[in-house]
Amino acid sequence: MGDEADQFKWGVKTGVGQRHKAVIFYDSFTYKSVQYSLYDCAWFYNPGDVETNICKIVRLFETPTHEKKARVVWFFRPGEIRRFLGDVEPKWNELLLASGQGTGLSNVVHLVEFLSMIYHVPFAIHSWLNFFCIV
């Protein structure tokens, strides 16, 4: 685990928590010489699952106990949320970014648990920088 920690570096500090001043927010992090920033997208794959899970990084922070975390907002496929779409009929290959409040729309993830599994996805995607995969 120490090897992974040696390869991790926070980017620019952007502020501290309002209620908990010991929480520090950042604009990016670098892992294995690759920089990942706020609003980048990530592709999570769990072995055995049929589909992947895709999210957008919206907050990067470190807790008072030095845990490295990120808040992510999830993308959904039309089939996963069809009952919420009403008359809207998106194409089968569209992804819809979650918004609003509710369980499962966003989560806080522990970066260190996922860093050893980051995998670059070698394809172009318009307006999504540093798209990466966690397998």
Please tell me the predicted confidence (pLDDT) of residue 98.
86
Q: Can you give the residue ranges of every domain in the chain?
A: 2-10+26-60+71-134
Please tell me the predicted confidence (pLDDT) of residue 124.
40
Cα 126–Cα 113–Cα 30 angle in degrees, nearest 5: 50
Please tell me the predicted confidence (pLDDT) of residue 11.
95
Q: What is the mean pLDDT of residues 3-18?
A: 84
40 Cβ contact list (under 8 Å, min separation 6): 56, 57, 128, 129, 130, 131, 132
| CATH placement of domain 2-10+26-60+71-134 | 2.30.30
Residue 1 has pLDDT above 90, yes or no: no
54-94 per-position pLDDT tens digit: 888 899 999 999 999 999 898 888 888 888 888 888 888 88
Cβ neighbours of 37 (radius 10 Å): 16
Q: Considering the entire predicted model, what is its pTM?
A: 0.77
Q: How many residues does the chain have?
A: 135
